[in-house]
């Protein structure tokens, strides 16, 4: 009997340490106007580096990685529990060496990179000495990669890249970009594109503007123009034409880790909702005594627990198979579910806080927008639901009789009668034999 929802005591001790450390040392960093990707900023150096050193001495650095890359190889279940704590804060992932999009970028360089690429880019990325950006989405094509037109053409011993990308998160702080470009326009849809490592200071890379998502003028979502950007041939990442497969590797891990952190963000919203409910007074008691408020709290708890169990079960399945492709349906399902759960809990927390809830004194408005972003970034919800449905339908595709007689009720009844006989006959037979006796 292997169903077990308990945390080993030794690991629980680590989680308890994390809880205290994150609350007292890490959470405040998110409120001083520093960005977690601004690693070269002297304030980042002064404030974040010592905390990272503490995390390393605790053996909790970069826990998404295996030991061969300097991580602990804890696996996804333990990572899930850790990410719940980190996901409540803005700086948690950076202080613990597991911030997106660098985690995903590191993962693909680790999997597909040549030894010299690993030496030059992976090592400093894993140490958070530098940050990176993933440059895939184009203004005319997001959800559908077949719309991408940015091209890379061979010229002597170089590739020459031309095109325009946007929403390349953190590009303005990045040391390098991982760029997806069309190298083989006539190849099959999934083999047209390749990936390239492009140092951000390469001539021809121009950040046209930095778009902000939650308000503010100078955001982190770069619109980048690539004009005759030349990179040596060995800057291709993985096989020529392999970009689509590589990006799936990257996004599988990214999505589940995002969901783990979202569990933490939802917990925080529910925690604040409850604190407000028991402390906000009306003439006849606190608002926690009102049934409608109780409904908000009950719904939030129920939805959060369902979501959390789904995330943890999927984490467990990934640990079991060690292959994201085998867990594709559930990762897509979680990606589709996450924005709704997060949105609904954050919106209730906002509502229960009244005017304070919509203000920038509380995190809820940003969380609600963040939930909407989750429904778009890494592919919109509709696309993930289609994946879930397609994967789920696979097992049914082999049934070739459209009438499905195997489970029609008359058919089932007939089979049951043949197997067990008619209950009415049996009752009659018993009655007749009793009478005869
Ligand atoms: C905050 C943020 C950060 C991001 N970071 C990055 C990054 O670092 N790197 C990067 O490359 N990209 C990034 N993106 C881009 C992201 O991957 C795209 O926004 C996403 O793939 C959707 O593409 P789109 O915005 O062009 O929307 P569109 O493709 O135009 O889709 C718009 C809407 O159309 C509908 N739709 C589209 N396709 C389908 C379909 N097949 N079936 C049903 N309905 C459909 C959906 O309702 C969808 O929401 C980021 C986006 C955001 C918001």
Q: Tell me, using a 6 A CB cutoff, whether residue 34 lines ligand 1.
A: no
Q: Give the residue, 432 or 390, on which the prediction is more confident.
A: 390
Tokens of 11: 């690991």
Instruction: For residue 339, give Cα distances in angstroms to 35, 295, 348, 385.
Output: 23, 20, 14, 13
* pLDDT score of 397: 80
How far away, in angstroms, is 167 Cα from ligand 1 center? 9
What average pLDDT does this structure show over 42-67?
Answer: 94
What DSSP string runs through 403-421?
Answer: T-GGG-HHHHHHHHHHHH-
pLDDT digits (tens, 9 = 90+) for 210-244: 999 876 666 999 999 999 999 999 999 999 999 98
pTM above threshold 0.85: yes
Query: Topology of 132-237 in CATH?
Result: Butyryl-CoA Dehydrogenase, subunit A; domain 2 (2.40.110)
Q: How confident is the model at residue 173 (pLDDT cuts 50, 70, 90)?
A: very high
Q: Tell me, using a 6 A CB cutoff, whether residue 380 lines ligand 1.
A: yes
In this structure, whether the domain defined by 247-396 belongs to CATH 1.20.140.10 is answered with yes
Q: Tell me, using a 6 A CB cutoff, whether residue 372 lines ligand 1.
A: no
146/139 Cα distance (integer angstroms): 13
Does 330 have pLDDT greater than 90? yes
301/314 Cα distance (integer angstroms): 20
Ligand 1, from 100, 150, 167: best to mutate by most atoms within 8 Å of Cβ? Answer: 167
Q: Which of 145, 98, 148 is nearest to 125 (CA)?
A: 98
How far away, in angstroms, is 375 Cα from ligand 1 center? 9
pLDDT digits (tens, 9 = 90+) for 7-21: 999 999 999 999 999
Q: Tell me, using a 6 A CB cutoff, whether residue 377 lines ligand 1.
A: yes
Does 59 have pLDDT greater than 70? yes
How far away, in angstroms, is 119 Cα from ligand 1 center? 32
pLDDT digits (tens, 9 = 90+) for 112-142: 999 999 999 999 999 999 999 999 999 998 8
How far away, in angstroms, is 370 Cα from ligand 1 center? 14
The domain 9-99: what is its CATH number? 1.10.540.10
What average pLDDT does this structure show over 319-345?
Answer: 94
Q: Tell me, using a 6 A CB cutoff, whether residue 101 lines ligand 1.
A: yes
Q: How confident is the model at residue 189 (pLDDT cuts 50, 70, 90)?
A: confident
Q: How confident is the model at residue 429 (pLDDT cuts 50, 70, 90)?
A: confident
Percent with pLDDT over 90 in the chain: 76
- Nearest-atom number in ligand 1 for the CA of 386 is 42
Q: Where are the domains positioned within the chain?
A: 9-99, 132-237, 247-396, 405-436
Q: Which of 366, 12, 32 is nearest to 214 (CA)?
A: 366
Q: How confident is the model at residue 405 (pLDDT cuts 50, 70, 90)?
A: low
Q: How confident is the model at residue 428 (pLDDT cuts 50, 70, 90)?
A: confident
Does 403 have pLDDT greater than 80? no
- Nearest-atom number in ligand 1 for the CA of 101 is 8
Mark out the alpha helices in 375-408 (DSSP H runs): 381-393
Q: Chain-centre distance of CA 46, in angstroms?
A: 30
Q: Give the residue, 95 or 398, on which the prediction is more confident.
A: 95
The dihedral region occupied by 138, where left means phi > 0, alpha psi between -120 and 50, and beta the remainder, is: beta
- Nearest-atom number in ligand 1 for the CA of 169 is 8
- Nearest-atom number in ligand 1 for the CA of 136 is 11
What average pLDDT does this structure show over 166-192?
Answer: 96
């Amino acid at each position: 009997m292997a169903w077990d929802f308990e945390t080993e005591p030794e690991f629980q001790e680590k989680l308890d340490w994390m809880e205290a450390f994150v609350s007292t040392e890490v959470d405040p960093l998110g409120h001083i106007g520093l960005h977690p990707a601004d690693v070269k900023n002297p304030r980042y150096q002064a404030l974040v580096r010592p905390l990272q050193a503490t995390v390393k001495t605790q053996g909790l650095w970069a826990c998404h990685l295996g030991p061969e890359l300097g991580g602990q190889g804890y696996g996804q279940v333990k990572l899930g529990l850790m990410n719940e704590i980190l996901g409540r804060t803005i700086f948690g992932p950076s202080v613990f060496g597991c911030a997106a999009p660098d985690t995903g970028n590191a993962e693909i360089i680790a999997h597909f990179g040549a030894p010299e690429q690993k030496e030059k880019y992976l090592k400093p990325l894993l140490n958070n000495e530098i940050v990176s950006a993933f440059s895939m989405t184009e203004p005319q094509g997001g959800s559908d990669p077949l719309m991408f037109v940015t091209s890379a053409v061979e010229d002597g011993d170089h590739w020459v890249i031309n095109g325009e990308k946007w929403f390349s998160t953190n590009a303005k702080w990045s040391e390098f970009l991982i760029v997806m470009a069309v190298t083989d326009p006539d190849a099959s849809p999934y083999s047209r594109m390749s990936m390239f490592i492009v140092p951000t200071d390469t001539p021809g890379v121009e950040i046209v503007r930095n778009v902000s998502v939650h308000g503010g003028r100078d955001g982190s979502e770069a619109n980048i123009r690539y004009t005759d950007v030349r990179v040596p041939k060995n800057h291709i990442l993985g096989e020529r034409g392999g970009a689509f497969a590589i990006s799936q590797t990257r996004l599988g891990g990214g999505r589940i880790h995002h969901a783990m952190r979202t569990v933490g963000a939802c917990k925080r919203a529910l925690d604040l909702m409850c604190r407000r409910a028991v402390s906000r007074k009306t003439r006849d008691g606190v608002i926690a005594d009102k049934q409608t408020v109780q409904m908000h709290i009950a719904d939030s708890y129920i939805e959060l627990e369902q979501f959390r169990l789904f995330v943890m079960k999927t984490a467990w399945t990934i640990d079991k198979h060690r292959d994201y492709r085998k867990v594709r349906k559930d990762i897509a399902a979680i990606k589709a579910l996450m924005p709704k759960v997060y949105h609904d809990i954050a919106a209730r927390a906002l509502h229960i806080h009244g005017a304070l809830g919509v203000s920038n004194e509380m995190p809820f408005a940003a969380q609600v927008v963040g939930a909407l972003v989750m429904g778009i970034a890494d592919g919109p919800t509709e696309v993930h639901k289609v994946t879930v449905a397609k994967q789920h339908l696979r097992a049914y595709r082999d049934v070739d009789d459209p009438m499905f007689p195997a489970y029609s009720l008359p058919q089932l009844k007939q089979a049951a009668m043949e197997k067990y006989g008619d209950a009415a006959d049996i009752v009659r037979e018993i009655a007749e034999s009793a009478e005869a006796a």
